[in-house]
Amino acid sequence: MLTINQSAPNFSLYDAHDAAHKLDDYKSHWLVIYFYPKDNTPGCTKEACTLRDDNAKFEALNTQIVGISTDSSKSHQSFSQKQNLTFTLLADPKGEVSKAYGALFKLGPVKFSKRHSFIIDPAGKVSKIYRSVSPSLHSQELLNDLKQLQAEFKD
């Protein structure tokens, strides 16, 4: 199980356009990694859309957002286009990255990502862990915590 100040597990996953993304691609930025169960479901759509609506606020805080689920790249492409998402969605079809972050749920042969989120600092360390997330309130919670964490990071 991940803990605060631990190095975030590296990953190499593909986005909706089949471009590879690694954790190292986000060095020098703050990063929100949010895991979610399924594209085009009510809670996941609400969470993605509130993050989309607040994306300029995240960018103003030098923070990038990455969503990860066990859905395919093709599913992400459809979901991203339908919801006009302005951040990256990564496909974790085998659930390996979800598992590394403690966000994988398995029910027999079915597996999906739990709704967990992580704030990663520019050095690649886990700064905040969210194991219980309200889809409609999470974006504001992340923004509030990012401001506090960034102030502490500078000190």
Which pairs with CB-CB distance under 8 Å and at least 24 residues apart come from 98-106?
98/35, 98/68, 98/69, 98/70, 100/9, 100/11, 101/2, 101/9, 101/33, 101/35, 102/1, 102/2, 103/35, 103/68, 105/37
Closest by CA position to 98, among listed 15, 14, 9: 9
49 included as an active-site residue: no
Find the catalytic residue in 8, 33, 44, 89. 44
First to last CA, the chain: 28
- Annotated catalytic residues are 44
